[in-house]
Structure 1
């Protein structure tokens, strides 16, 4: 038992599994820190149930804050706060008509991400 515990722990494999040239290529292709931070922020935004419900509500139709609040049975202030957060991340966009502000998904990428993940979660 003492022999096992006294052996130094290896923190790497003895031989590179895929060769050092593959490792170098992977390092060169690694995402920039700024890109990783942006992705993290988007995934963090998608980690909130209220924001997911808002995105789902906006999948097929542009709506005003009042209508979103009615659908989600929440206060307009809470919805406005979440919409501002989503807008700052370019997940939703707004369009003003007179005094009314309509919200929709910013682009097809958000819709694709949401629909793909919804299909994944519902997949048996």
Structure 2
């Protein structure tokens, strides 16, 4: 999905009212950014997801050992339902793997996480 370019006639009161000093440069950058709109939105969602300390704690804990939902809930000081919700978010992003043994569900760190540098960051946070 491409962003539409804002033409001078479409400028509203919310936008800077000062004349654009470098219109060619602004137009070039605006065109370059138009192709990145979806990726930037996905990146914002990723950072939003990682901005939750409980989710970072889950990721850090699962680097150490595979844990069931109940053990993670105890570790986090959350209910099983709240912990499951956080796990569902992380799993949907590809950060975790799960396995079921009867009624028990175990989670583990994905061996090849979507952002390999996150593993390095979690090591630093855990040091």
Shorter-chain TM-score bucket reads: 0.5 to 0.7
Cα displacement (A) at 1:91: 2.3
Structure 1 unaligned spans of 5+: 1-7, 17-22
Aligned match for 1:34, one of 31, 38, 41: 38
Map residues 1-124 of structure 1 onto 2, 5 A cutoff: 9-13=18-22, 27=32, 31=36, 33-106=37-110, 107-110=112-115, 112-116=117-121, 119=124
Contact 1:105 1:111 in 2 (8 A): no
The aligned length equals: 107
Structure 2 unaligned spans of 5+: 1-16
Counterpart CA distance in 2 for 1:98 and 1:36 is 41
Task: Calculate the TM-score normalised by the size of structure 1.
Answer: 0.64
Root-mean-square deviation (CA), in Å? 3.3
Q: Which protein shows a greater Rg?
A: 1
Counterpart CA distance in 2 for 1:54 and 1:70 is 11
- Matched position secondary structure for 2:100: strand
Q: Structure 1 residues 109 and 15, CA, compared in 2 at 3 Å: closer, same or farther?
A: closer
Divergent runs of 4+, >6 A: none
